[in-house]
Amino acid sequence: MNTTSGELLEFIGEIYHAGHTSQWHPILNKLIDITQSNKAFFLLQELGNQQPLITGLQANFECPRSALLDYQSRPFKCPSYQITKYLTAGESTNVNRHIDLTLYRNSNFFQDIYSPLKVFHSVVGVLCRDADYDSIMVVNRDEDDEPYGYKDEELFRLITPHLSRAMRILIALRSYKNQSYMSQSSLDQLDKAFIICDENGQVMIINTFANEKLNAGSPVTLVANKLVIKNPIYQQRLMFCIRQCANRHYTDISGQETIILQGNNDENILLTIAPLKNKNTFNDIDVPCCIVTISFQQQRDWLKISDLFLLTPKEMRLLKALYAKKKMIDLPIIYHVSYNTLRSQLQAIFKKLEVSSQSELMIKLSLFI
């Protein structure tokens, strides 16, 4: 992989364009060229549904359809998933540094899927992982090809956060597109505050739930038809995110992360700001605007969780961090421990809560309010 900084920035711009347009084939083709892979694909799985919500695949050989359908029917049985299931959204890894696939050569999965699809070496980026969706981006090489090296890993480390954000944009736009075909009465039955505002935070479209929840007693409210967070620091961050999303500036994706507030009655308030393409097919608004989705979640009963599953203080610390959407890769510096130590703690949490992935973990935590 030899990519200049200019080419990388151009590629990142193309990634966000794919998020807006759902045209992922150019991204997959470029990943194949840059990494000299035999294929590149992504998968968006809505948890609870057996079939993937969205898939995309490009390859430089004819992939057997039967093997593809077989993989789509059991993606979480993939040996590589046993490694990547510990990653959070925005993280990536070279799977072969953690697993010896020759040990799986006689398995049904290897014979039915890996061999016909020429899968042996893999670099994987996690794009989405929560209680609703699981999404990955993968490049593959065959067993006779050279293993992926540091430069390939570094490329994925740089682009995976952008791929993750682009996938969130795709999900948000997909949701909005579906909602745009609903009647107003259906839209008003949504259990989240749904707002479209311009680059200055002025509300353009709002549902009934938002009007009811964003009252004077809420940390987030409407003042003169403008979205306002009472805390001035969070308000400044909100406006930064809105301006960035409304004008589709992607030089600083950290400004587009979810904002989490402490609400009333032990409530968590999650604000997610996502761009809308100007003059897009979903609406007739002709000014820069963005989607703001606000969900109200009851705090987890952490004491009950700790007592019920016999979690240690360090395991509880990690569990709360993951629930707050912290990335595992950032926590070693914060907690002054190694990544492997945190991974061992996460494995212990999985075992005690009887789950096999972070998605299952978030679903289980949702039961404790």
Which pLDDT score, from 0 to 100, does residue 145 have? 94
Which pLDDT score, from 0 to 100, does residue 190 have? 57
Lowest mean pLDDT of 202-211, 226-235, 258-267, 357-366, name the range: 258-267
H-only helix segments in the chain: 5-21, 25-35, 65-73, 81-84, 108-109, 150-180, 184-187, 208-213, 232-246, 302-309, 313-323, 331-335, 339-353, 358-365
- Contact by Cβ (8 Å): 56, 137: no
Lowest mean pLDDT of 12-16, 36-40, 233-237, 284-288, name the range: 284-288
Average pLDDT over residues 291-300: 75
Which pLDDT score, from 0 to 100, does residue 38 have? 95
The C-alpha atoms of residue 42 and residue 116 are separated, in whole angstroms, by: 18
Give one DSSP letter per residue of 170-181, joined into a string: HHHHHHHHHHHT
Which pLDDT score, from 0 to 100, does residue 181 have? 46
Lowest mean pLDDT of 110-114, 199-203, 211-215, 364-368, name the range: 364-368
Are the folds of 5-177 and 182-298 the same?
yes
DSSP 3-state of 235: helix
Which pLDDT score, from 0 to 100, does residue 130 have? 80
In the predicted structure, residue 30 carries a pLDDT above the cut 60 = yes
Q: What percent of the chain has pLDDT over 90?
A: 26
In the predicted structure, residue 295 carries a pLDDT above the cut 50 = yes
Average pLDDT over residues 36-62: 83
Return the higher-pLDDT residue of 178 and 201. 201
Average pLDDT over residues 151-157: 91
In the predicted structure, residue 256 carries a pLDDT above the cut 60 = no
* CATH numeric code, 5-177: 3.30.450.80
pTM for the complete prediction?
0.59
In sequence order, what are the residues at sequence separation of 6 or more whose Cβ sits closer than 8 angstroms to the Cβ of residue 92? 123, 124, 125, 126, 153, 156, 157, 160
In the predicted structure, residue 40 carries a pLDDT above the cut 90 = yes
The C-alpha atoms of residue 247 and residue 288 are separated, in whole angstroms, by: 6
**Per-residue DSSP letter, 256:** G
* CATH numeric code, 182-298: 3.30.450
Return the higher-pLDDT residue of 240 and 267. 240
CA dihedral of residues 183, 188, 190, 192 (deg, nearest 10): 140
| Residue 134 burial (CB count, 10 A) | 27
Residue whose entry in the numeric block shows the structure tokens 């492997």: 340
Give one DSSP letter per residue of 18-67, joined into a string: HHHH---HHHHHHHHHHHT-SEEEEEEEETT-SS-SEEEEEESS---HHH
The CATH label, of 2.60.300.12, 3.30.930.10, 3.40.50.300, 1.10.10.10, for the domain at 302-365 is: 1.10.10.10
Average pLDDT value for the chain: 81
The C-alpha atoms of residue 80 and residue 100 are separated, in whole angstroms, by: 10
What band does 170 get if pLDDT is binned at 50, 70 and 90? confident
In sequence order, what are the residues at sequence separation of 6 or more whose Cβ sits closer than 8 angstroms to the Cβ of residue 94? 122, 123, 148, 152, 153
Q: Where are the domains of the chain?
A: 5-177, 182-298, 302-365
Which pLDDT score, from 0 to 100, does residue 85 have? 84
- What would the pLDDT profile of 118-146 be if each residue is shown by its tens digit? 999 999 999 988 878 889 999 999 999 99
What band does 3 get if pLDDT is binned at 50, 70 and 90? low
- Contact by Cβ (8 Å): 172, 128: no
Helices (H) and strands (E) in the chain, counts: 14, 12
